[in-house]
């Protein structure tokens, strides 16, 4: 029996994620599940609701066997680069022989046909040149609905074909209301619906019985207990609204050329960021002033977070292209699955980090990517409601539970 890889964010971990891990093992016949999980910031351009160590702990408690960090330089990327980063790190571990992902379509054959169609001729590039956003352009080229998980699925397929064509691919049909569904829906609710339900409450606000019941049914008990305690302590959820002053400060400090050097900034977008950071009273207002049909909100948020963290287009492009940019920072291992640690030491083709000193031997590009992930860990805490303290990223030991 082999091991299956999953690329995820767990923002937060919910019953749908638990179901996916179980199904991934079942459909692939794998014994263990190795997770590549976004670090401190997520692909929609926001801070993760809880820190990466707590989210990794939840995953291990609910069926995962190992959790490896997807560095923030990859996590804060378009779907193509997000998927490529996750797939390349999974391949670099040498631990897995298959990858499984969630999708709205639920058919790997259908998604492979869409991927074939998307790369035929010049349809994708022509759509982008016409002014479409990347998700809309890919959707039109591949004949797929613009559902985020189907689009990511196509990118996983493309990344596997380029980087590890012998890897088997599986998909699990989503069981919740969808990536953008913001209503609680019983046992399986979207992460967005859960975050929104929690965001209305703090340690000083009483949650209505109906909302509490909805959240209670959607989360594994260990997650619910942790989140309840974190809300009382003022450390959950972390949001970009709480980072508002930090983001405005950063963009008022950057000159136009520095903003132009950020990923996905083109066509004079740097001038809009420079102007509206001065004209706006807070981060949401700045975004609303910049937003147009040409730019998705997720793209604008990723630009803002890349600005905050100092992620340049040059670095993100190097991360996308260079093998020396990759490393596997292991966050957590399930008790009883420690054999994966022994195995990865023999099979990995990329550096493996299990302790602080392992960082010292990283190649130059990987070291810079890791430095930004360490910074992201401390800055994410500023997005927490009241308790904004943070321990150094390197002080956290490998979780075994």
CB 42 within 8 A of CB 375: no
- For 98-110, give one letter per residue: b (16+ CB within 10 A) or e: bbbbbbbbbebeb
Task: Report the chain (401 residues): mean pLDDT per 10 consecutive residues.
Answer: 94 96 98 98 98 98 98 96 98 98 92 82 73 73 74 94 97 70 74 84 64 87 93 93 97 98 96 98 98 92 98 98 98 96 97 97 98 98 96 96 92
Q: What is the pLDDT of residue 172?
A: 96
Which residues, listed in sequence order, are joined to residue 103 by a DSSP beta bridge?
Answer: 173
Length of the chain measured in residues: 401
Q: What is the pLDDT of residue 136?
A: 75
Q: What is the pLDDT of residue 282?
A: 98
Q: What is the pLDDT of residue 2?
A: 92
C-alpha dihedral (46, 50, 55, 57), degrees to nearest 10: 160
Contacts for 132-138: CB closer than 8 Å, 24+ residues apart: 133/294, 133/295, 133/296, 133/299, 134/78, 134/79, 134/80, 134/296, 134/299, 135/79, 135/296, 138/79
Nearest CA-CA partner of 152 in 89, 92, 102, 90: 102
- What string of H, E and C letters represents the secondary structure of 87-110? HHHHHHHCCCCEEEEEECCCCHHH
Q: What is the pLDDT of residue 297?
A: 95
Q: What is the pLDDT of residues 57-71, one digit of tens each?
A: 999 999 999 999 999
**Dist CA 258 CA 313 (whole Å):** 10
Q: Model's pTM, two decimal places?
A: 0.94
CA of residue 303 relative to chain centroid, distance: 15
């Amino acid at each position: 029996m082999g091991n299956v890889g999953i690329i995820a964010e767990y923002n937060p971990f919910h019953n749908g994620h638990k179901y996916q891990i179980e199904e991934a093992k079942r459909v692939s016949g794998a014994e263990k599940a190795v997770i590549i999980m976004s670090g401190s910031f997520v692909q929609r351009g926001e801070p993760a609701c809880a820190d990466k160590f707590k989210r990794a702990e939840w995953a291990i408690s609910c069926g995962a066997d190992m959790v490896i960090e997807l560095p923030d330089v990859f996590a804060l990327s378009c779907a193509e680069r997000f998927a490529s980063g996750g797939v390349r790190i999974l391949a670099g571990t040498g631990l897995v022989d298959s990858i499984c992902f969630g999708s709205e379509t639920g058919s790997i054959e259908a998604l492979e046909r869409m991927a074939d169609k998307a790369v035929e001729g010049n349809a994708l590039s022509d759509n982008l040149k016409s002014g479409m956003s990347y998700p809309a352009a890919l959707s039109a080229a591949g004949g797929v609905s613009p559902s985020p998980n189907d689009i990511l699925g196509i990118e996983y397929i493309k990344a596997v074909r380029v980087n590890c064509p012998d890897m088997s691919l599986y998909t699990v049909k989503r069981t919740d209301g969808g990536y953008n569904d913001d209503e609680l829906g019983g046992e399986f609710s979207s992460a967005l619906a859960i975050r929104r339900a929690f965001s209305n409450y703090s340690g000083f606000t009483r949650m209505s019985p109906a909302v509490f019941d909805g959240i209670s049914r959607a989360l594994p008990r260990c997650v619910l207990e942790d989140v309840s305690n974190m809300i009382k302590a003022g450390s959950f959820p972390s949001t970009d609204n709480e980072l508002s002053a930090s983001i405005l400060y950063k963009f008022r400090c950057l000159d136009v050329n520095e903003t132009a050097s950020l990923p996905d900034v083109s066509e004079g977008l740097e001038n809009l960021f420079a102007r509206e950071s001065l004209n706006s009273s807070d981060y949401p207002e700045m975004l609303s002033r910049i937003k147009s049909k040409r730019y998705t909100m997720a793209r604008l948020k990723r630009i803002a977070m890349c600005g905050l963290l100092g992620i340049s287009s040059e670095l993100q492009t190097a991360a996308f292209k260079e093998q020396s940019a990759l490393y596997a920072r292991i966050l957590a291992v399930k008790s009883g699955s420690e054999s994966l640690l022994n195995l990865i030491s023999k099979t990995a083709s990329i550096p493996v980090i299990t302790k602080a000193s392992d960082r010292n031997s990283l190649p130059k590009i990987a070291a810079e990517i890791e430095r930004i992930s360490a910074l992201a860990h401390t800055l994410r805490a500023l997005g927490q409601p009241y308790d904004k303290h943070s321990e150094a990223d390197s002080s956290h030991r490998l979780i075994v539970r």
